[in-house]
């Protein structure tokens, strides 16, 4: 399919993430075309904005979406609901010729982190975007693992409390489990652990991520590790301009190997969400990049 072809997409979920997805598709993508948005709250701001922009809408969830005449033009569906809701949504969508890009921690399909492994899953019907912490930190672990084995990876994701909506708060357990698993499956760590912190500071702080990689070899090439990380950061910045290293990569020799520590900061693009909501922005940006690659493969 040519990259110049505009492919119809729909969003399930009219909250912050779903609304930001809509704006990103409409403002930044030349290969995707926003067709429909489905929610369950007829009074939601997301559905109201979609209507004003001429997007087909329904407040009857996935059943309402597939009943819309416009759904016949949809080839990609973004699910920005919750892990529990996604299981039902995917079961309904399995009856239609659409690709599902899942932004919940349900993980029914394979984990996808665009600069690391997207090319391996272009034929999948359902792909999972892991979590905001996963999108921010898995690339770093993968960059280290590309140079030397990683026995253990631990990440701490600190996000503004104001940027954590009901869906995020309801899925805290799924967040830690899914992110930890992605550090292993996609990042290449033998063992992974994830911690999330909801920071109540006012004014809200930008998303901060700390990545620890324990490498068994204390003699691992530090220059190559740092260069691999910097190259990966540049790759992520292609679709998340606010993604950056806060300082130089840190190295420390321990009794059981080399500890690599990376400090990251993520600010949002401000399409719909505030700049401090980098945790949400990296998810929607990664999802749009994934859909673009899937439809142009």
CATH number at residue 31: 3.40.50.720
What backbone torsions phi and psi does residue 251 show, to the nearest 5 degrees? Answer: -130, 140
- Do the Cβ atoms of 150 and 214 come closer than 8 Å? yes
pLDDT tops 60 at residue 48: yes
pLDDT tops 50 at residue 218: yes
15 is known to lie in a ligand binding site: yes
> pLDDT-derived band of residue 3, with 50, 70 and 90 as boundaries?
very low
Q: Rounded distance, CA 142 to CA 156, Å? A: 16
What the block records as the tokens of 92 is 């309904």
Instruction: List, for residues 170-181, the tens digit of each pLDDT value.
Output: 778 888 999 999
Q: How far is CA 46 from the centre of its chain?
A: 20
Within this chain, do residues 189 and 149 fall inside the same structural domain, yes or no? yes
pTM over 0.85: yes
CATH number at residue 164: 3.30.360.10
Within this chain, do residues 93 and 154 fall inside the same structural domain, yes or no? no
Catalytic annotation, residues = 132
Neighbours of 126 (CB within 10 A): 21
Handedness of CA 195, 230, 183, 275 (dihedral sign): positive
279 is known to lie in a ligand binding site: yes
- Evaluate whether residue 2 is within a structural domain: no
167 is known to lie in a ligand binding site: yes
Nearby residues of 262 by Cβ (< 8 Å), 6 or more positions away: 140, 210, 211, 213, 229, 245, 249, 250
Instruction: List, for residues 171-215, the tens digit of each pLDDT value.
Output: 788 889 999 999 999 999 999 999 999 999 999 999 999 999 999
Stretch 77-81: mean pLDDT, rounded? 96
Q: Rounded distance, CA 209 to CA 197, Å? A: 10
How many domains does one find in the chain? 2
17 is known to lie in a ligand binding site: yes
Stretch 251-266: mean pLDDT, rounded? 97
pLDDT of residue 160: 96
In terms of residue numbers, what domain contains 236?
Answer: 132-278
Which one, of 59, 52, 54, 56, lies nearest residue 15 by Cα? 59
Within this chain, do residues 114 and 174 fall inside the same structural domain, yes or no? no
Within this chain, do residues 149 and 236 fall inside the same structural domain, yes or no? yes
pLDDT tops 70 at residue 225: yes
pLDDT tops 60 at residue 135: yes
2 is known to lie in a ligand binding site: no
């Amino acid at each position: 399919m040519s990259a110049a072809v505009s492919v119809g997409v729909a969003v399930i979920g009219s909250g912050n993430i779903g609304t930001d997805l809509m704006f990103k598709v409409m403002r930044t993508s030349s290969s995707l075309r926003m067709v429909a948005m489905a929610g369950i709250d007829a009074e939601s701001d997301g559905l109201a904005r979609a209507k004003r922009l001429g997007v087909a809408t329904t407040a009857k969830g996935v059943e309402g979406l597939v009943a819309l005449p416009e759904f016949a033009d949809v080839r990609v569906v973004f699910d920005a609901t919750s892990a529990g809701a996604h299981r039902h949504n995917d079961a309904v969508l399995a009856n239609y010729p659409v690709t599902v890009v899942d932004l919940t921690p349900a993980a029914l399909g394979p984990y996808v982190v665009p600069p690391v492994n997207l090319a391996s899953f272009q034929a999948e019907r359902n792909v999972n975007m892991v979590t905001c912490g996963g999108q921010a930190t898995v690339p770093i672990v993968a960059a280290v693992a590309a140079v030397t084995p990683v026995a253990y990876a631990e990440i701490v994701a600190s996000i503004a409390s104001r940027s954590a909506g009901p869906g995020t708060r309801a899925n805290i357990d799924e967040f830690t489990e899914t992110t930890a698993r992605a550090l292993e499956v996609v990042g290449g760590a033998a063992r992974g652990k994830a911690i999330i912190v909801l920071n109540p500071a006012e004014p809200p702080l930008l998303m901060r991520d700390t990545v620890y990689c324990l490498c068994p070899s204390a003699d691992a090439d530090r220059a190559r590790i740092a260069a691999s990380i910097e190259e990966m950061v540049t790759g992520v910045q292609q679709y998340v301009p606010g993604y950056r290293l806060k300082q130089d990569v840190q190295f420390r020799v321990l009794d059981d190997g080399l500890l690599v520590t990376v400090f990251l900061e993520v600010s949002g693009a401000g399409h719909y969400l505030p700049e401090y909501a980098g945790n949400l922005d990296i998810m929607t940006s990664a999802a749009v990049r994934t859909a673009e690659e899937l439809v142009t493969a």
